Amino acid sequence: MHARPRPRLAGVSAPLRITVIGTGYLGATHAAAMAESGYDVLGVDVDADKIAALARGEVPFYEPGLSELLESNVTAGRLRFTTDFAEAADFGDLHFIGVGTPQHPRTNAADLSQVEAAIGSLAPLLTRPCTVIGKSTVPVGTAENVRTRLQALAPAGADVDLVWNPEFLREGFAVADTLTPDRIVIGVATPSGPGEPRGRDEEVMRRVYAPMIEWGSPFLVMDYATSELVKVAANSFLATKISFINAMAEVCEATGADVTRLAEAIGYDERIGSKFLRAGIGFGGGCLPKDIRAFMARAGELGVSDALSFLRDVDGINTRRRTSTVALARELVGGRFVGKRIAVLGAAFKPDSDDVRDSPALDIAAAIYTAGGDVIVHDPQAMANARAAYPKMTYAADIREALTGADLVLVLTEWPEYTGLDPATVAALPTTPSILDGRNCLDIARWRAAGWTYRGLGRPNA
Ligand code: UDX
């Protein structure tokens, strides 16, 4: 999975001591990667259970390769964990902030309370020069405010630098994306002009990321606002690309065309590219949906709503994929879910993750359940999170149990366990061998040859 080579440790001189505040998907991975790069690292979180698990070398979520990385660095003594901010302030030359910025339930804006709490806890304890590095995804303008507050609260005052350093890791590839990033983006208060010497903050960041720079990651220094925008612009572009191909899928559905062939053909144009053109039930997860909504909310505050009005359509197309998939499932079981058993394969928002935040798969399963369907869900990794979100739905111990007696099978997350199924072997399990491929990830010819009624999204009916 990790195609890119790991960075070498050459280029790191005196040991820097690093804290990483927030130990979720982002922070835990970053802490382990920094330790792997040779630094002494202290992970900090307000959640004592999470910290206790991490200190034992256990990752409290599913991320391929992270357990091994964490365990080896905890064992080597380079990586420790605490809930104590005083210990963190005393320890760190650098403090990374990797806490969550979830969607605010009322306004759709980013909820910055965890960033504010982290700064509020740390800053009054900073008595010597250090650098605080924000990694959380925040609305443009946040870094400037955080810097003012940080320097006002810290006894060390202006000797505390603030850098904004957005994180672009993907779940499922978090380890590789952190050790060998596509690019490193650094936002500083006063970027140096051409020919001017580098600022202290830039020098520090070049030293921290020396292994990654040596590996070949481009290192880009810019002002705070641009660095904050890079992150939300990148996620908006990715979301737009997915919604574009899903809009094409809607047109294909109305015309009998095949969106997978269309995507293949346009993807050969290098200007378009074939990645992120997989049509299906759309995007979910802890980033893309909430980031585009927070970006729209921020644009409204800045008086530039019109510039991002297209994101409303991007979000709308994405939401429509879920409702139209539920409608298609209803049609396939004869117009009513009541009395019908629906097997849902996949609950995570994508494979190689146990994350069900804003998961299209789980959302569709729950909508069918609410409409009266007898829904049975299976996922190789996300069962515990799915059950916690929807305790009343039924969960299958294995794929066979899910398929047995089903009137319709939905494949909603393209785990290899599902794409690798032999349709002939499992054809006798359901009451009706009917499958709706919500990720266009199955071989139509094989499934049809094995006697299944196959429906994809944006693909011809027969
Ligand atoms: C995303 C960004 O990719 C990453 O750079 C950023 O740091 C965080 O947000 P992630 O949320 O891990 O990462 O998932 P990603 O791989 O981008 O997929 C997002 C969603 O889009 C998934 O639900 C996935 O199934 C869906 N998707 C992706 C499609 O529906 N079609 C595609 O072609 C690609």
Please tell me the distance from the alpha carbon of residue 318 to that of residue 185, in angstroms, as a whole number.
Answer: 29
Task: Write out the catalytic residue numbers.
Answer: 287
N-to-C CA span, the chain: 35
- 276 in ligand 1 pocket by Cβ < 6 Å? yes
CA angle at 411 for the pair 406 and 417, rounded to the nearest 5°: 100
- 244 in ligand 1 pocket by Cβ < 6 Å? no
Residue 414 CA, closest ligand 1 atom number: 25
Residue nearest to atom 25 of ligand 1 (CA): 350
Residue 170 CA, closest ligand 1 atom number: 12
Which of 135, 170, 246, 259 should be mutated for ligand 1, with most atoms under 8 A from CB? 170
Please tell me the distance from the alpha carbon of residue 9 to that of residue 13, in angstroms, as a whole number.
Answer: 10
Residues 23, 52 contacting (CB under 8 angstroms) = no
Ligand 1 centroid to residue 97 C-alpha, Å? 23
Environment class of 206 (CB within 10 Å of its CB; exposed 0-12, middle 13-18, buried 19+): middle
Alpha helices, DSSP H, located in 371-420: 383-389, 399-403, 416-419
pTM: 0.95
CA atoms within 13 A of residue 458's CA, in its CB half-sphere = 26
144 Cβ contact partners less than 8 Å away, ≥ 6 residues apart:
224, 225
Residues 32, 73 contacting (CB under 8 angstroms) = yes
State the angle between helix axes of 288-302 and 309-332 in degrees (0 to 180), rounded to the nearest 10.
150
User: What is the number of helices (H) and of strands (E) in the chain?
Assistant: 19, 14
State the angle between helix axes of 224-255 and 259-267 in degrees (0 to 180), rounded to the nearest 10.
130
Ligand 1 centroid to residue 288 C-alpha, Å? 7
- 166 in ligand 1 pocket by Cβ < 6 Å? no
State the angle between helix axes of 360-370 and 309-332 in degrees (0 to 180), rounded to the nearest 10.
50
Ligand 1 centroid to residue 73 C-alpha, Å? 28
Residue 284 CA, closest ligand 1 atom number: 23
Ligand 1 centroid to residue 291 C-alpha, Å? 12
- 211 in ligand 1 pocket by Cβ < 6 Å? no
Residues 43, 28 contacting (CB under 8 angstroms) = yes
- 289 in ligand 1 pocket by Cβ < 6 Å? no
Q: What is the DSSP letter of 308?
A: G
Please tell me the distance from the alpha carbon of residue 391 to that of residue 385, in angstroms, as a whole number.
Answer: 10
Residue 171 CA, closest ligand 1 atom number: 12
Residues 119, 150 contacting (CB under 8 angstroms) = yes
CA atoms within 13 A of residue 462's CA, in its CB half-sphere = 1
Please tell me the distance from the alpha carbon of residue 87 to that of residue 27, in angstroms, as a whole number.
Answer: 18
Place of tokens 């297209």: 310
List per-residue pLDDT tens for the chain, 462 residues long.
334 444 434 444 557 899 999 999 999 999 999 999 999 999 999 999 999 999 999 999 999 999 999 999 999 999 999 999 999 999 999 999 999 999 999 999 999 999 999 999 999 999 999 999 999 999 999 999 999 999 999 999 999 999 999 999 999 999 999 999 999 999 999 999 999 999 999 999 999 999 999 999 999 999 999 999 999 999 999 999 999 999 999 999 999 999 999 999 999 999 999 999 999 999 999 999 999 999 999 999 999 999 999 999 999 999 999 999 999 999 999 999 999 999 999 999 999 999 999 999 999 999 999 999 999 999 999 999 999 999 999 999 999 999 999 999 999 999 999 999 999 999 999 999 999 999 999 999 999 999 999 999 999 987
- 287 in ligand 1 pocket by Cβ < 6 Å? yes
Q: What is the DSSP letter of 353?
A: -
Residue nearest to atom 16 of ligand 1 (CA): 170
Residues 220, 186 contacting (CB under 8 angstroms) = yes
Q: Would you state the pLDDT for residue 426?
A: 98
Ligand 1 centroid to residue 172 C-alpha, Å? 10
Chain-centre distance for alpha carbon 292:
13
Residue nearest to atom 19 of ligand 1 (CA): 283
- 412 in ligand 1 pocket by Cβ < 6 Å? no
Q: Would you state the pLDDT for residue 115?
A: 98
Q: What is the 3-state secondary structure (H, E, C) of 118-184?
A: HHHHHHHHCCCCEEEEECCCCCCCHHHHHHHHHHHHCCCHHHEEEEECCCCCCCCCHHHHHHCCCCE
Q: Would you state the pLDDT for residue 14?
A: 55
- 171 in ligand 1 pocket by Cβ < 6 Å? yes
Which of 240, 283, 364 should be mutated for ligand 1, with most atoms under 8 A from CB? 283
Residues 447, 423 contacting (CB under 8 angstroms) = yes
Q: Phi, psi (5° rounding) for residue 294?
A: -65, -35
CA angle at 330 for the pair 329 and 336, rounded to the nearest 5°: 150
Alpha helices, DSSP H, located in 333-395: 360-370, 383-389
